[in-house]
Amino acid sequence: MVTAAVQYAGWLRLGARRATEGSVEQRRSALRRWLVFAVAWQLAVLVGIGIYIAVISGGSHSSAAWIAPAAGALVGTALPLQVVVMSLMRGLRP
């Protein structure tokens, strides 16, 4: 939930209105800023997942449930991207 909220908040703050309205140059600039944020956030989440897996996987586990938080964080960063794509597609309509 946290990763999804951060990803979506970044879109609302950095790109939502600016990337779908205004001149072409303003749209490009807003989309560029949001892409830099999105890539940085994705990398931070992946590093966090890697650290989590490295720390937790060392112990003995009777089930595979220990991977659920890492999988949730990964899916949480992907879900808001669907909203972003839909917003961008709506902005392309004349």
Quote the pLDDT of residue 48: 93
Handedness of CA 65, 68, 70, 71 (dihedral sign): positive
Quote the pLDDT of residue 2: 84
Quote the pLDDT of residue 93: 65
Tens digit of each residue's pLDDT (9 = 90 or more) over 31-82: 888 888 888 999 999 999 999 988 888 777 777 788 888 888 888 888 888 8
Quote the pLDDT of residue 92: 66
Which is more confident, 16 or 72?
A: 72
Helix (H) or strand (E) holding 50: helix 24-56
Quote the pLDDT of residue 50: 92
Model's pTM, two decimal places? 0.74
Report the alpha-carbon distance of residue 46 to residue 54 in Å, rounded. 12
